[in-house]
Structure 1
Amino acid sequence: MMARPGTGRRGGSMAGSTRDLEPDDYGDEAYFDEPHVEPRVFDSSLLRQPASVLSARKPLLFAPSDSVTDAMRAMQAEHRGCVLVTRDGSPAGALAGIFTERDVLFRIVDRGRNPATLPLGEVMTPDPERLRVGQPFAAVLQMMHVGGFRHIPVVDEEDHPLFVVSVRDVVQFLVESFPREVATFAGTQTQREREGA
């Protein structure tokens, strides 16, 4: 809301002493009140939610002998950032590796290698870090932060892959947990950009 000339925030005249003015009253002829957003404390119970709340999609599974080209095509078709590699390419096999979009860039493209001639076993990350089913959301955040991982496999007690948690899943979970706060903050930022702040 724009202040009208001749009125101060306390209802007094602008002709009064400068000692009565607040610091941000100086400089501009008008000011705009920012939308009031109630402060909200992060609900720590979210950190105790199981990692399974983040993803329900079955992982894309391949064997070490499968071609990189087939894995890349599956990633593109399913809009996934990675595939998991089990010893026999089935859900009943133990997790053996992970192949991600970063591997495409740094282990294939950057080195000028032909994906059609490469088996996944040559370019995957073997024996990747993983979480056991039932571990909390906090463990996902910790692993992503400390390890710099964008994709974390989640396995059962026998090391069979169940699903993958991605950075996108984490962001989606937080947006769904705080929809009002995210929308309010985003709207405030957009308004500031329009006003040149």
Structure 2
Amino acid sequence: MDDSEFGDASGDELKAVGALLTEPIGRHLRGSPVSVGPETTLAQAVALMQQRRIGCVLVVDDEGCLIGIFTERDLLNRVVGHPVDLAVARIDKYMTANPETLAAEDRLAWALNRMHVGGYRHVPIISEGLVPVGVLSVKDIVDDIVELFPAEIQNLPPDPSHESPQTDGGA
């Protein structure tokens, strides 16, 4: 990769990305987390995820403490293709129980590391007592990084040398 591949973005913008990664997660949370109880049906949870255009819901107990997370991946890997009646199946049977969590004061770089190592796209952010205060997603982090670059960089045409070769037969 040569120095000009990112145009004028190789200086200040890349330093800004480094600075962004040292910031606390709490600065990057977008709104309150969407939570449901363990008795919520899969149909209700999926409808809520569709309505809110989110990739996960947190599952909390009666005291509001995190007990699990249900993500799009859980839906695909544990529900789709299996004989599950979404209208009666409870979310607590299909959620990821006791997910890894982070605190709002943890650094963004640490969150990226944990997401990469753990292979997940969403991490619940909790306060004392396992009470969720937010959810951080890989998309949130990418959106924040993209905002650091000027529109000229974001809208550069694709480099033909990076395109996939054409194959016969589609796909």
Contact 1:108/1:114 (8 A) holds in 2? no
3-state SS in 1 of match to 2:68: strand
Residues 146 and 183 (structure 1), Cα distance of their counterparts in 2 relative to 1, 3 Å cut: farther
- Are 2:109 and 1:138 equivalent residues in the alignment? yes
The residue aligned with 1:102 is 73
Asked if structure 2 preserves the Cα contact closer than 8 Å seen for 1:133 and 1:157, the reply is no
1:152 maps to 2:123 = yes
In structure 2, the partner of 1:119 is 90
Question: Structure 2-normalised TM-score?
Answer: 0.81
- Work out whether residues 35 and 188 of structure 1, in 8 Å CA contact, stay in contact via their aligned partners in 2: no
Confirm or deny that 1:173 pairs with 2:147. Answer: no
Q: Which amino acid aligns with 1:151?
A: H
1:84 deviates by 0.1
Distance change >3 Å, CA 184–CA 115, structure 1 → 2: same
1:53 Cα shift? 2.2
**1:42 and 2:11 correspond:** no
Counterpart residue number, 1:81: 55
Largest Rg, 1 or 2: 1
- Partner-residue secondary structure (3-state), 2:69: strand
Which amino acid in structure 1 is aligned with residue 69 of structure 2? I
By how many angstroms is 1:99 displaced?
0.3
Take 2:106 and 2:50, find their aligned partners in 1: how far apart are those partners? 29
Q: 1:119 to 1:157 in 2, by over 3 A?
A: same
Q: Which structure is higher in RCO with an 8 Å CA cutoff and minimum separation 6?
A: 2
1:38 deviation in Å?
5.6
Unmatched 5+ stretches in structure 1:
1-33
Q: Structure 1: how far apart are the matches of 2:49 and 2:71? A: 9
Kindly indicate whether the alpha-carbon contact (under 8 Å) linking 1:131 and 1:152 is maintained by their aligned counterparts in 2. Answer: yes
Q: Equivalent residue of 1:144, what SS?
A: helix
* Deviation sequence 1:8-47 (CA, Å, 0-9, x none): xxxxxxxxxxxxxxxxxxxxxxxxxx99536324343222
Tell me what 1:55 maps to. Answer: 29
The 10-residue stretch of structure 1 (43-52 or 124-133) with the greater mean CA deviation from structure 2: 43-52
Q: 2:43 aligns with which of 65, 69, 82?
A: 69
TM-score, normalised with respect to structure 1: 0.71
Q: 1:65 to 1:174 in 2, by over 3 A?
A: same
Give the aligned residue type for 2:125: V
Q: For 2:155 and 2:70, locate their aligned partners in 1 and report how far apart those are by CA, in whole Å.
A: 34
Tell me which stretches of 4 or more aligned residues in structure 1 moved more than 4 Å. none
Deviation at 1:72, TM superposition (A): 0.6
Q: How much does 1:162 deviate?
A: 0.6
